[in-house]
Structure 1
């Protein structure tokens, strides 16, 4: 049993994705039905949709689009982590609207696509603090060199439950283990951060990686955060850049060999159930 905490649906006929033109391999439709057929075969029973950095004017439209999919009989989607812009004046009102929607489980602002100092802005930080006490999480999608900024932001909002995406985006392809490792250890010292074991197949060499390639990264994340502060995500369709959903599920099982059933259950579904009340 898996709960997938990181599903992306891309439907270019419904929503605008300005960044897709710069990533030809993903510049196509990746629809829910395609994902669901494979996900069920892999043992995925529930999914959270992760925002796909649509045009800011379409943020609410994306949430509404995914909510409509979730309402269909038998849908795997149980909630959404929605896009936001904490650097904007309108965030406070946006937060209040999202708090009233039980389908919304949290927020994400991808920080490695903007200037490093965006997260250091006064308004950005004030708005992140507003999320505290709302029951909503805040996903951090950052690069290893931004680990210090992640720690600083987390320290300023101790009442916010942060989620570090994709094992902190290690550069596995270049075998850049050591600087990434130190950053993960530092971030994990903050009790209000959990880490998402997701996305790593896209950061390895697509032609040569094996489960053993990924294992040191996954093991360090688990050793740093502990089994109670890790969750699993597919990062579909980005995972197709490194082999696809079924391959990532198989690699996850291989990388977790040697762990107990109780430990695996925490990572694969139990922690997500607790954190997002699924």
Structure 2
């Protein structure tokens, strides 16, 4: 079996104020999650490494991930946070470009107004990423896809990846408007998509692989194996599943694909997108 990369997971030292999004319904993840918690799960599922993605919006968070990555070789890349709307964004990006494992940035746009990605200051920040060869992770709810389409259209040289397949409402089975927008955004050569975060958009207690299949069918039909990468969204996935079950669900779904295509999804696409392995 080829090596694998988990292209999307998080670490945190739980802080109830900062991490207020982790409410009582998510009590199972109201604790610390650190590299020593993840490493055995990666090993068990043949993962060579992972990409650590920001969970809170501060430069302290980015430096926290840099520190963890400096001590844990299996953390192959970091998607940090920086204030893209800051007037001195170039200076901040130059600062972070000194850290080899920082590959890109993300903003929690799902928590912002639906027109957030049209903001001039935000777009100025997106424009600045290219000079430093940084990627951008798009974290949105499916209703924000039209704004994301405008963004990727206006920055054709910038590499984007959609997190959590843009969070369709899997629990209700609603698919139509999400599908139409996925068909549109997938046409752009500069856009990839992470197969991640699906179980937490489904019915946490009662989901089954068949609930995910229509959504997987759409992203595979539109992005193909060349533009998709696996991400666990650990430890958030623990509210609805566990690491092994999420891996197994995708293994079963892609078992009909060629070994080459499976390798792209598990390893090569994340490596290419984030430039992980020297």
**Same fold (TM > 0.5):** yes
Q: Is the 8 A contact 1:214 1:255 kept in 2?
A: no
Alignment root-mean-square deviation, CA: 2.0
SS in 2 for 1:175: coil
Structure 2 residue aligned with 1:64: 63
Structure 2 residue aligned with 1:50: 53
Structure 1 residue aligned with 2:10: 8
Please list, as runs of the form range in 1=range in 2, the aligned pairs for 1:1-278 lying within 5 A after superposition.
Answer: 1-12=3-14, 16-21=18-23, 24-25=26-27, 26-54=29-57, 59-72=58-71, 75-278=73-276
User: Any idea what the Cα deviations from partners look like across 1:174-210, whole Å, max 9, x if unmatched?
Assistant: 1011111111111101111000111101111123222
User: Any idea what the Cα deviations from partners look like across 1:194-229, whole Å, max 9, x if unmatched?
Assistant: 001111011111232222221221121121012111
Q: 1:176 to 1:238 in 2, by over 3 A?
A: same
Cα distance in structure 1, aligned partners of 2:250 and 2:259:
14
SS in 1 for 2:204: coil
- The more displaced of 4-13 and 260-269 is 4-13
SS in 1 for 2:110: coil
Cα distance in structure 1, aligned partners of 2:256 and 2:22:
39
SS in 2 for 1:216: helix
- Structure 1 unaligned spans of 5+: none
Q: Is the 8 A contact 1:132 1:157 kept in 2?
A: no
SS in 1 for 2:132: coil
SS in 2 for 1:106: strand
Q: Is the 8 A contact 2:18 2:56 kept in 1?
A: no
Kindly state the Cα deviation for residue 257 of structure 1 after the two structures are TM-superposed. 2.4
Q: 1:150 to 1:22 in 2, by over 3 A?
A: farther
Q: Is the 8 A contact 2:94 2:132 kept in 1?
A: no
- The TM-score normalised by the length of structure 2 is 0.91
Cα distance in structure 2, aligned partners of 1:221 and 1:24:
27
Q: Give the paired residue count.
A: 273
User: Any idea what the Cα deviations from partners look like across 1:119-152, whole Å, max 9, x if unmatched?
Assistant: 1111111221111242210000111111110000
- The TM-score normalised by the length of structure 1 is 0.91
Q: Is the 8 A contact 2:89 2:128 kept in 1?
A: no
Cα distance in structure 1, aligned partners of 2:23 and 2:208:
30
- Structure 2 unaligned spans of 5+: none
Q: Is the 8 A contact 2:197 2:232 kept in 1?
A: yes
